Structure 1
Amino acid sequence: MMMGKKKVGIITFHASHNYGSMLQAYALQETVLGMGCECEIINFRTERQQEFYRPIFSKGSFVDRLKRSLFYAPYLLAWKKKQQLFERFLKEKYRLSSKEYSTLEELEAATLDYDVYISGSDQIWNISALDFDWAYFLPFAGSSRRVAYAPSMGPLPHQLTFNREKADKTAGLLKNYDYISVREQQTMEIVTQLTDADYYTVTLDPTLLVEPQKWSIMAGEAPLIKGNYIFLYTPWYNADVYEEANRMSKTLKIPIVISLFHDGALANLKIMRRHYHCLLASGPLEFLNLCKFATYTIGKSFHLVAFSILFRKPFFAVNGMEDSRVMDLLKLTGLEQHSVSPIKGFSTVPTKIDFDEVHHRLADARKQSLNWLRESLC
């Protein structure tokens, strides 16, 4: 049954030039719209976030920019195209607030009139994240309903216990919420500890609320890379991921495809010397395409695992069971064996997955998460 036309405002990492961040924001928007609500993403983009996601060659002094431009010369056009693809996705796929905000003070001074405010999802409650801001705890929401849908405190949520001042501030903001769900068990445990309450729940990342067929359509019908390939993705440079992918490539005799460089010249130099197939001009839609048509995927990324599952692709999550975000998803789907230890290697992981059973488990969890969200919006 369709609910009344409530106005919903979502605040999340919608403008982070990160595949998972932008795709989860889109997924939550579409899910709320599908429940019969009016919905906007509050266009909150801090200067710190925008600076962080600027290309490496455009940061620093004139001399630094010149050096980096020379170093990355063969990739400059592709890198610029990548930025454009992220911004195009933001403008074409989101329903944004009419104004853009860059500080919590601007949000507090704005005349926002949403009936319901949603925090989530992604690592918006990770106070160590470089683009974290207290605005993601909705202190500006006034008397409107506050809902947290599947935010994460990151791979190590217990960090809050190390800083009493920040822990107390977080606890005070959490107590203002009407409904709270979180993405991982560890985040739920720390929220429970901070608020001295035990009625919270774990819900699916928004990307898993959207049916695979819709993602498949968005990914396109033609592969960007022809033939068999291993898609390697890790937002941060991780030597274990690259070493394991190199072993896979050599053993299976298929190439490695990557879609980004990292924030360090030494790491990127290592990548350049390996002569990977680099599709640097890749925004969120291109990421979906690379996942959909890959023969295998490997990496250290929650959303790489999520989309590999949705697209029914054999995957290898490097040290996945050591990351609370990935671990919960692997446990939910019964795919713990697909956490790869660099010591044991990918060859110890079964490549055949009963995706019918996996998707059956996901369907049950999806139903529960959608019901929770629907009830929190009523």
Structure 2
Amino acid sequence: MKIKTITCHEVYNYGASLQEFALLKYLEALGHTTEAIHYKPYYLSNHFNLWSVSPKYNTFPVKYIYLLAKLPGRIKALKRKKVFDTFSKKYIKTGNSIYKTNEELKNNLPIADTYICGSDQIWNSFFENGKDPAFYLDFVPDDKLKISYAASFAIDSIEAYLKPFVKEKVSRIHHVSVRETSGVTILNELDIENVAQVLDPVFLLSAKYWKETFIKKIDEKFIFVYDFDSNSFIKEIAIKLQQEKGYKIYTVNKNIKYATNNYWLKGPEFFLSLIANAQFVITNSFHAVAFSLIFEKQFVVVNRQEAINTRMRDLLALFDLNHVLITKNNITDTLNLIDYKSIRHKKQEAILSSKAFLINAIKN
């Protein structure tokens, strides 16, 4: 069967790239012909723009002073763009057409038997993609099979004005699954039933596959910090652990200055190697949590400053790991927070259930 997927494509984020690849790879392993739709709306197309200027600096001569100051760093950052583009070119198959709007998709429909939207935060109305009909498969004709796989709202509730839009669009999808229990609740409250909760696509591929395909050995002992917010509490934990254990601190976040080594310019493959080789992971990233679970690493989670914490909370709750979501009030001195023997069966059940949803949805 020919299957097309749509998700936030080429957004230069480790998790976004790896989940897109994982879904395509798993579908391919099932015997299907797969491609991602190369969808690049305006709001996902301004990454690594050398000449962008914040509105508050957009006056003469401030604009040109601002650009001169920013340009050296932006030119260096193109190296990061290059490694992500190389990963996409090698591992994420797309059609030749690039689409910028839902109307373009309607007028020049990518040909497939089945269309799948997901995963990641495609329905998060905190961002523009959650309000974009394309991510709800609006462009797909009624007679074509439509599936959402692990679509994420990433928030506990959506604003009242968006509820009719979301209800109308999701009601057209034949088989609906979301990534979080909060997503099930959102849709049930819109009278959309038979909503499945499934795992992120990265869980569809085994730890063995990830390791054999991407992981390179790193001999040093280190703590891996993946922190979107430059969070002072994460810094406190990392430095305390470093002092106690003598481990180095590795990161891929540009603004973290306390790390021993910063690999901001490395691509998704090295990101996986960092998690797989780390002695401990400290993060506020959903996909750092997901891969820590896949590779059975010890880790702790700190909430994001943005209101998108349902992703980590619901995933941890699924495996009874709420205690690794820490605050200053419940910080622990031990590294061994997770007994993986006790959760392996539950994790395997969730993976099998997620695979079964996808297989049955495509068959039916």
TM-score, normalisation: structure 1: 0.86
Report matched runs for 1:223-234 at 5 Å.
223=218, 226-234=219-227
- The equivalent residue for 1:183 is 179
- The equivalent residue for 2:5 is 10
- The equivalent residue for 2:106 is 108
Q: Check 1:130–1:251 CA distance in 2 against 1; reply closer, same or farther (3 A cut).
A: farther
Cα offsets for 1:60-112 (capped at 9, x unmatched): 24432321245x49xx54x3221111111111101112211111121111132
1:245 counterpart letter in structure 2: A
CA distance in 1, matches of 2:240, 2:51: 34
Q: Greater CA deviation, 183-192 or 128-137?
A: 128-137
CA distance in 2, matches of 1:357, 1:14: 36
Q: Give the RMSD, CA atoms, in angstroms.
A: 2.1
1:33 counterpart letter in structure 2: E
> Which of 353, 364, 369 is 2:338 aligned to?
353
CA distance in 1, matches of 2:105, 2:192: 29
The answer as to 2:135 corresponding to 1:136 is: yes
- The equivalent residue for 1:265 is none
Instruction: Tell me which stretches of 4 or more aligned residues in structure 1 moved more than 6 Å.
Output: none
**Unmatched 5+ stretches in structure 2:** 54-62
Q: Secondary structure at the match of 1:128?
A: coil
- The equivalent residue for 2:271 is 287
Q: Check 1:169–1:351 CA distance in 2 against 1; reply closer, same or farther (3 A cut).
A: same
The Cα shift of 1:130 comes to 4.8
- The equivalent residue for 2:59 is none
The Cα shift of 1:275 comes to 5.3
CA distance in 2, matches of 1:350, 1:337: 12
Report matched runs for 1:9-158 at 5 Å.
9-51=4-46, 53-54=47-48, 59-60=52-53, 61-69=63-71, 72=73, 77=76, 79-132=77-130, 133-142=132-141, 143-154=143-154, 156-158=155-157
The Cα shift of 1:352 comes to 5.2
The Cα shift of 1:157 comes to 3.4
Q: Check 1:58–1:238 CA distance in 2 against 1; reply closer, same or farther (3 A cut).
A: farther
CA distance in 2, matches of 1:312, 1:246: 23
Q: Check 1:279–1:360 CA distance in 2 against 1; reply closer, same or farther (3 A cut).
A: same
Report matched runs for 1:219-258 at 5 Å.
219-223=214-218, 226-258=219-251
Cα offsets for 1:277-325 (capped at 9, x unmatched): 21122211111011111111101011111111111211111148x9321
The Cα shift of 1:58 comes to 5.2
The Cα shift of 1:220 comes to 2.6
1:190 counterpart letter in structure 2: I
Higher helix proportion: 1
CA distance in 1, matches of 2:288, 2:51: 28
- The equivalent residue for 1:264 is none
1:117–1:146 CA contact under 8 A, matched in 2 = yes
Q: Greater CA deviation, 17-26 or 277-286?
A: 277-286
TM-score, normalisation: structure 2: 0.90
2:37–2:110 CA contact under 8 A, matched in 1 = no
CA distance in 2, matches of 1:286, 1:108: 37
Aligned residues: 349
- The equivalent residue for 2:203 is 208
Cα offsets for 1:102-149 (capped at 9, x unmatched): 111211111322111101010000011255432101110012111011
The answer as to 2:220 corresponding to 1:218 is: no
Q: Check 1:232–1:134 CA distance in 2 against 1; reply closer, same or farther (3 A cut).
A: same
Q: How many percent of aligned residue pairs carry the same amino acid?
A: 27
